[in-house]
Amino acid sequence: MNARRRSDDRTETIMRTALDLALEVGYAKLSMEAVAARAGVGKDTIYRRWPSKALLFLDAVLSSRNTGLEHPDTGDIVADLREVMSRAADLLARPPWGPLYQDLIGEAQHNPDVAAALNQRFIQPQTADTLARLKVAKEQGQLAPDFDLDLAFEILSGPLYFRLLITQQPITQAYIDRLLRALFAGMAPEPHPR
């Protein structure tokens, strides 16, 4: 086995160990020492890759996600949004990703490095994908020509984060349907007079 492959395997082992420990003890009690001990590596090995527990945790969480949150294009913007929002709600409602993502967002509130990396590596790509799908729908006449797509994205995602982080109420299919009905009442194009 070459050195590069060993290094990649070690990196994967460290991230997987960090996730396992975070699920067991919670992010607040996660330590580099505990990760090193369980992964069978020295602390220096971890610190060479990640200067802080927070950045190790961020990499571990984001590398663990195979979220499948890319938007399909079936020609029906409401159905496509419902599909992705339902997948996101399902992902966030259960371990391991839901609790880990909540901890990651919590850490981002007071750690600018984590906030910037989370934004660059997860939030911005998800935003760009959603905006691209909304833009196509607008070009196809499924949305009002003057509707603000950035605002539409914020209106779509805000209630999900509110429930996830503030009220901790479940994000049900019924809730997603209510949200889409309310939003699309304002986004729909005006009917053409006959």
What is the helix, strand, coil percentage profile of the chain, to 5?
75, 0, 25
28 and 110 both lie in a single domain: no
Tell whether 194 is covered by a domain.
Answer: no
Tell whether 193 is covered by a domain.
Answer: no
Tell whether 93 is covered by a domain.
Answer: yes
Over 60: is that where the pLDDT of 1 sits?
no
Tell me the DSSP string of 124-141: HHHHHHHHHHHHHHHHTT
Residue where one domain finishes, among candidates 14, 45, 63 = 63
* Residue 194: predicted pLDDT: 59
Over 90: is that where the pLDDT of 164 sits?
no
Tell whether 129 is covered by a domain.
Answer: yes
Residue 56 CA to residue 66 CA, distance in Å, equals 18
User: Model pTM?
Assistant: 0.76
157: domain CATH number is 1.10.357.10
Tell whether 50 is covered by a domain.
Answer: yes
Tell whether 192 is covered by a domain.
Answer: no
20: domain CATH number is 1.10.10.60
> Could you give the number of structural domains in the chain?
2
Residue 92 CA to residue 160 CA, distance in Å, equals 10
Q: Considering Cα of 63, then 61, then 176, then 94, what sign does the dihedral take?
A: positive
CA angle, 144 as apex, 138 and 145 as ends, to 5°? 65
Mean pLDDT check: name the lowest of 47-61, 62-76, 81-95.
62-76
- Under the banding of pLDDT at 50, 70 and 90, the label for residue 138 is very high
Domain range for 183 is 65-187
Residue 154 CA to residue 30 CA, distance in Å, equals 32
54 and 79 both lie in a single domain: no
166 and 177 both lie in a single domain: yes
